[in-house]
Chains A and B, each alone.
Chain A
Amino acid sequence: MAGPSVNISVMIPRGDASRVQVSKRLSDVTVSMMTSRITESMSGNSLVLPIVLWGRHAPTHCISSLLVMEDLATIITGCHDGQICIWDMTPELEINPRALLFGHSASVTCLSKASAGSEKQYLVSASESGEMCLWDVNDGRCIEFTKLACAHTGIQFYQFTIGTQREGRLLCHGHYPEILVMDATSLEVLYSLVSKISPDWISSMSVIRSHRTQEDTVVAVSVTGILKVWIITADVSRMQVISLRQLVELQDKSFGLGLNSATALGGRVRETLCVRVRACEQDLDPVFEEESKPIYCQGCQSLSFCTFTQLSLLVVCSKYWRVFDAGDFSLLCSVASESNQSWAGGEFIAADKVITWTEDGCSFLLICPPVTRFFFGRREPFHKLLVQGDSAGRLSVWSVPDSSPAQTHPSSPAELPVTVSLSLQESFDQLLPPPAGIIDQLSLLPSSSDPMKVTASVYIPCQGRLVCGREDGSIVLVPATQTAIVSARYDQRSLVSGGVDFSVIIWDIFTGEMKHVFCVHGGEITQLIVPPENCSTRVQHCVCSVASDHSVGLLSLRERKCIMLASRHLFPIQTIKWRPCDDYLVVGCSDGSVYVWQMDTGALDRCVMGITAVEILNACDEFAPVALDSLGQPAVNLKQAVTRRSLAALKNMAQHKLHTLATNLLAADNADKLALTPPNLDSAPRCAGFFRRASPHRFTITRWNTASKSRRTLHANVPPEIRCPPSLLLQGNLPKYSHNSLLVQAMKTNVTDPDMHVLFFDVEAVIIQLLTEEAQRPNPTLVSPETLQKAPGGADKSGSFLANKIFKQVKETIKENIKEHLLDEDEDEEEEQRRREEKSKSLSLLEYNLTMDTAKLFMSCLHAWGLNGDLDALCQARLGMLRPHTPVSFGLISRGGHMSLMLPSFKDSLLRRLSAGSSDGRKLSVSEIVGKGTYGVSRAVTTQHLLSVISLANTLMGMTNATFIGEHMKKAPVR
């Protein structure tokens, strides 16, 4: 096992394989436009711009639900991991993925449009865990979100007429026996449609408006096969609006559902419906059904009305489909399914034609049944589309012809040739140059064209490095930022990694030496967790490891031994919590059971389930309260957002779901800002519910999977010899450094995916840092008044780390790794070589100017390249900016930690739109793409970018001798 020590060499990634490019069109947009959109763009607490490095592997997208917007220009797909993908579709039926929306922590169960107009397109999504989000389809902004205790399985948007107004409502059904009617803009529950007679879950539902009676009718089928009809009269709707107002006044005085009926309504009260459906005593009862009729249709899959004649109703069950009369619900016809095929849905495509489809996928590689839906255009273009999304992230679209007798028979849609089909991965593969990854240059193998997968990565702010564990079992360290090294609880030099070979290894981060190997687990290591600060001294020097054999170990780094091994859990471990004062380690398993272990003795104290288990877990949360009183309103909002999601976050952390990471990282971003305002750094929450430690300095641990049974190395440029499947995962303790303007966050949407990386630029933090540095300069006369105003505050707080370290002794500015691999460097080969050597030698001694480099990378990404050739040349030559080579995928952070990230293929959609708009129709050159691309993506993104670029440029102009031209380029120190 003992391996020879290998020097860590840090490679300077060369900018060949992938580059980033970005543009901004400053001249076009006036300040007045900007201000009008400030509110829009600043919906987050601070101006943080994400830039995504997708890498070449498209994220896993196992489609669970899909929707085509009414104008047939956008397809929305939701996946089992909780992301939502927006695809653009041209009138010629070409499809192209545009953006990925992050926010749900569990599988997306249903999608629905949430606005009627075509100019503002909204989308509502619901997840398995009860979350609901309202998104702007154009830019992926989250407009509203809420969480209910119950999960919806279907949502329908409908406009009810209330007097002369039309009000958008969402009708939701799911694992509860009512239909909830929600406001489509606020996502508040307004009222519910309940059943008097045998209430049960609703399996599908449809809304029609009768021309005869001018009433909106809701028809639904319950899981037991009872058809129910509710009539929403104008009176009901108006009454409910009044009741909502009363509800607000009577906030605390709730009234339960009135029960007058002979058969029971039921004693269920959903405890956490955010707005409980309350009917006031003044005869505002819930809406009861008008009619209830058993139609003996069990396992109903879909229910749809014939919109052409309004006379018939199609009910599709897994074993048969039936047509009923829409008036008296008598059975008109019934068609059984063919040999062991089960129907999955159906729709009328004409007055006398029905299309139905089965669950069967065309490909047997599918791991779960695909989702199929039928849509037809009510406006131009009048396509009739059958869209299918499968578990491989592939969308297939069939255009159903109007008059073909072959298709009128309800048979498999496969007889029709697929009109268009595209998967996420295909769209990634089509791109040239391929989408940029974080360490592409380091990952290219001579033998294969695909770069090695990065399976885990951790950003160590206190050393300014990014640690990447790779598929072959090697770990690469690359400099990412620079900060002062401060003492932490653990030995600074240790890096801990866990592998698929069941072992946990301590490395010396500076020499690459393997210090110790723990072999205590009987399964792959899935997680490494840092115990909280207030544990016993012995435990404080431990790392908690979780393995796939459902065991948890406490490995002491100091004693070099395992002090506790908690095994025998029957189910995978979902959460680890701590009760330091009682010396308890609380293990939550995926089946809801909780095991309480004594850390010192290793004895199992208790094993509980049910309410007690929930209470124990909650008690652990309460145990680590956050001091928040001193913080302002935005902080409270942040806190609320964080707490609301912390349970989910904790749950998912175990599963390495991206959502958690996003939440944590947003919390971290915001904490950035907080840390600058209150002088007491220790009181600011820096991590989402997970690790709140008194010290802002964290030691970071990486998990590293390796199957190697031979020696291990920590190397980069030595050809890898260790064979192993990788899955380095981000460790729970998110690196957060209080004055970082750049945060590199690894993310994965699925455990099996390689890491993708998101760079978060906090514009405010960059500016404050720049001003701080400016203020600390020896020559005060050159400081602009503006700087003086701002600087003292910033200098005291954020500068304290830097003050004694950095200034006047910058020897060699070394670029961030990310920047280098992303951006073109105008340097000669020789110089690179020299720097490379230098870096390999002086790994631990690097000092470089983080702030300037961050600003440089940032400005380079945001600059409007290709718009003005002269300006570009000037920027590159005089200002030292770097020109990206591939389109930069930006993102947008919106409310509550929801995030929209552009997929690398977003350019294609834009280009298509642009070339359609240009009169001569000529092909746009690369520079034009770069220049015109990002502008026009969305107003919110444009606004954020303009604000950032202007504020940063102004700050830089106010500084003395500010330049992006690095010292290595000038061969002389700048200052």
Chain B
Amino acid sequence: MLGAERSSLGDLEKMTAASQAERTVLEEEFNWLLKEEVHSVLKQLQDILKEASRRFSMPTPGLEGQLKQENFILGSSTMDQVKGVLTLQGEALTQADINIKVTKSSQVMHFAFRDDKQWKLQQIQDARNHVNQALQLLSSRDESYQFKTGAEVNKLMDAVMLQLTRARNRLTTPASLTLPELAASGLMRMFTPPMPGDVMVNFYINLSKLCLTVYQLHLLQPNTTKNFKPAGSSVVHNPGAMFEHNNNKFEVSHVHKVECVVPWLNDTLVFFTISLQLCQQLKDKISVFSSFWNYKPF
């Protein structure tokens, strides 16, 4: 027992000696990391995020008309009941033309945005603002700034990653709504001719896709309380979902979902992902040293 202890003490001394040299090297490496590597990563991040931010083409106040308009044709390969042509200008949908082929009557309904209306896609605005906040954070530490501790870098990375994750999440997770909320939303009142009571539409961004969902409703008899179960909130509701609006009970009979990829949104998502990985890699590099710095001889 005693012998074992002694030999282990000897090992320990060797270890301590070895770790002295190791410590010096580690220290140098760490200084290099803080002085050089961190700034080069920050520079890279800024470049990527500036590129991402450029994609969102921030409107300059007073010059709203200057933004580029893009048309997207929304369709689906499997069905042709719904077709939509949407015009996206920055974060707002300025024009929309929707054609719906009603299954029963095979009559085609056509709706368009009223001229005085546009629909802001809050998801895009939120993502844009989050990216800009991340950029602001990054620019607060320019090349002349000397990082003193790893914790400082980690804190900065955490703050940047929080904004980037939020920006990405805004695009990847559309709001889930209940059907009454959708029915009451201003979107229903934006169309000409006015949308009939048994059709509802919803626009949202999912990942890089601009999505349009059309619900065809079917009015339930007022006294059919037996099986009535209002549906919860969801991004897309399935046929059969029920809800009550203006004292009428409805059931979703058909759901049509069409979408179209917005190329620049796809770019921004890629940029977000790359930046997030860069941030995490920098954090990982710092954490390699952290156990070494926390090391305390006893």
Q: What is the interface of chain A, defined by CB distance below 8 A to chain B?
A: 4, 62, 80, 128, 175-177, 198-201, 223-226, 252-259, 262-271, 276, 278, 294, 296, 299, 318, 340, 342, 359, 364-369, 391, 445, 452, 471-472, 500, 524, 548, 570-572, 590-592, 609-611, 614, 707, 709-711, 720-725, 727
For B120, give its contact among A267, A359, A724 (CB under 8 Å): A267
Q: Given contacts A258-B186, A299-B136, A610-B173, are A720 and B298 in contact (CB under 8 A)? A: yes
Q: What is the interface of chain B, defined by CB distance below 8 A to chain A?
A: 1, 4-5, 8-9, 11-12, 15, 58-59, 61-62, 64, 92-93, 116-123, 125-126, 129-130, 132, 136, 140, 142, 144, 148-149, 151-152, 154-156, 159, 161-162, 165-166, 168-169, 172-177, 180-181, 184-187, 189-190, 203, 206-207, 230, 233, 235, 244-247, 276-277, 280, 287, 291, 294-298
A571–B142 CB distance below 8 A: no
A269–B136 CB distance below 8 A: no
For A267, give its contact among B11, B122, B159, B166 (CB under 8 Å): B122
Minimum distance in angstroms from A484 CB to a CB of chain B: 35
Chain B residues with CB under 8 A of A720: 298
Q: A176, A225, A369, A725 — which one has the most chain B CB atoms within 10 A of its CB?
A: A725
Pull 14 A–B residue pairs with CB atoms less than 8 Å apart, ordered by A: A175-B126, A175-B166, A177-B122, A200-B125, A223-B129, A253-B180, A253-B246, A264-B92, A265-B186, A276-B181, A340-B144, A368-B159, A452-B298, A723-B298
B122–A365 CB distance below 8 A: no
9 nearest interchain CB pairs?
A268-B122, A266-B120, A610-B172, A259-B186, A294-B61, A725-B294, A256-B184, A264-B118, A367-B152
A710–B129 CB distance below 8 A: no
Measured CA separation A270–B176 after assembly (Å) = 9
Measured CA separation A324–B282 after assembly (Å) = 43
Minimum distance in angstroms from A224 CB to a CB of chain B: 6
Minimum distance in angstroms from B83 CB to a CB of chain A: 20
Chain A residues with CB under 8 A of B190: 259
A571–B280 CB distance below 8 A: yes
B168–A592 CB distance below 8 A: yes
Minimum distance in angstroms from B157 CB to a CB of chain A: 11
B233–A271 CB distance below 8 A: yes
Q: Is chain A's binding surface mostly helix, strand, loop or mixed? A: loop
B298–A592 CB distance below 8 A: no
Measured CA separation A262–B115 after assembly (Å) = 9
Chain B residues with CB under 8 A of A524: 291
Chain B residues with CB under 8 A of A722: 298
Measured CA separation A571–B280 after assembly (Å) = 7
A223–B132 CB distance below 8 A: yes
Measured CA separation A257–B243 after assembly (Å) = 19
A224–B61 CB distance below 8 A: yes
B174–A611 CB distance below 8 A: yes
A262–B116 CB distance below 8 A: yes
Chain B residues with CB under 8 A of A365: 148-149
Q: B9, B120, B162, B172 — which one has the most chain A CB atoms within 10 A of its CB?
A: B120
Minimum distance in angstroms from A2 CB to a CB of chain B: 10
B58–A224 CB distance below 8 A: yes
A128–B162 CB distance below 8 A: yes
Closest residue of chain B to A259 (Cβ to Cβ) is B186
Q: Given contacts A258-B186, A364-B148, are A610 and B162 in contact (CB under 8 A)? A: no
Q: Tally the A-B contacts, defined by beta carbons under 8 Å.
A: 180
Measured CA separation A614–B298 after assembly (Å) = 45
Closest residue of chain A to B174 (Cβ to Cβ) is A611
Q: Given contacts A200-B129, A611-B235, are A711 and B8 in contact (CB under 8 A)? A: yes
Minimum distance in angstroms from B229 CB to a CB of chain A: 13
For A591, give its contact among B121, B142, B280 (CB under 8 Å): B280
Chain A residues with CB under 8 A of B186: 256-259, 265, 267
Minimum distance in angstroms from B169 CB to a CB of chain A: 6
Chain B residues with CB under 8 A of A176: 126
Minimum distance in angstroms from A201 CB to a CB of chain B: 5
Q: A591-B276, A725-B294 are in contact. List 17 more A-B contacts (CB 8 A).
A: A177-B125, A252-B230, A255-B184, A263-B118, A264-B92, A267-B122, A268-B122, A342-B140, A366-B152, A471-B296, A471-B298, A524-B291, A571-B276, A592-B172, A707-B295, A711-B4, A723-B12
A264–B120 CB distance below 8 A: yes
Measured CA separation A721–B12 after assembly (Å) = 9
B295–A724 CB distance below 8 A: yes
Minimum distance in angstroms from A273 CB to a CB of chain B: 11
B62–A294 CB distance below 8 A: yes
Chain A residues with CB under 8 A of B152: 366-368
Chain B residues with CB under 8 A of A199: 120
Chain A residues with CB under 8 A of B175: 268-271
Measured CA separation A365–B155 after assembly (Å) = 13
Q: Given contacts A224-B58, A266-B122, A711-B8, are A340 and B142 in contact (CB under 8 A)? A: yes
Measured CA separation A54–B46 after assembly (Å) = 42
Measured CA separation A278–B245 after assembly (Å) = 14
Minimum distance in angstroms from A930 CB to a CB of chain B: 36
Chain A residues with CB under 8 A of B58: 224
Measured CA separation A318–B132 after assembly (Å) = 14
Minimum distance in angstroms from A46 CB to a CB of chain B: 33
Chain B residues with CB under 8 A of A201: 125-126, 129
A359–B140 CB distance below 8 A: yes
Chain B residues with CB under 8 A of A299: 136
Chain A residues with CB under 8 A of B15: 709-710
Measured CA separation A258–B185 after assembly (Å) = 8
Minimum distance in angstroms from A448 CB to a CB of chain B: 9
Chain B residues with CB under 8 A of A266: 92, 119-122, 125
For A269, give its contact among B162, B172, B177, B245 (CB under 8 Å): B177
Closest residue of chain B to A473 (Cβ to Cβ) is B298
Minimum distance in angstroms from B215 CB to a CB of chain A: 16
Closest residue of chain B to A724 (Cβ to Cβ) is B295
Closest residue of chain B to A719 (Cβ to Cβ) is B298
Measured CA separation A296–B61 after assembly (Å) = 8
For B280, give its contact among A200, A276, A318, A570 (CB under 8 Å): A570
B165–A591 CB distance below 8 A: yes
B4–A548 CB distance below 8 A: no
Chain B residues with CB under 8 A of A366: 152
B173–A614 CB distance below 8 A: yes
Chain B residues with CB under 8 A of A253: 180, 244-247
Q: Given contacts A4-B4, A200-B125, A342-B140, are A723 and B120 in contact (CB under 8 A)? A: no
Chain A residues with CB under 8 A of B132: 223
A707–B291 CB distance below 8 A: yes
Chain A residues with CB under 8 A of B181: 254, 256, 269, 276
For B173, give its contact among A364, A391, A611 (CB under 8 Å): A611
Chain A residues with CB under 8 A of B185: 256-257, 267, 269
Minimum distance in angstroms from A297 CB to a CB of chain B: 10
For A367, give its contact among B8, B155, B298 (CB under 8 Å): B155
Closest residue of chain A to B94 (Cβ to Cβ) is A264
Chain B residues with CB under 8 A of A200: 125, 129
A271–B177 CB distance below 8 A: yes
Measured CA separation A149–B159 after assembly (Å) = 19
Measured CA separation A254–B243 after assembly (Å) = 12
B180–A710 CB distance below 8 A: no
A268–B120 CB distance below 8 A: yes
Chain A residues with CB under 8 A of B287: 548
Measured CA separation A592–B169 after assembly (Å) = 8
Measured CA separation A254–B12 after assembly (Å) = 71
Chain A residues with CB under 8 A of B155: 62, 80, 367-368, 391
A265–B120 CB distance below 8 A: yes
Chain A residues with CB under 8 A of B120: 199, 264-268
Chain A residues with CB under 8 A of B206: 610-611
Measured CA separation A223–B132 after assembly (Å) = 10
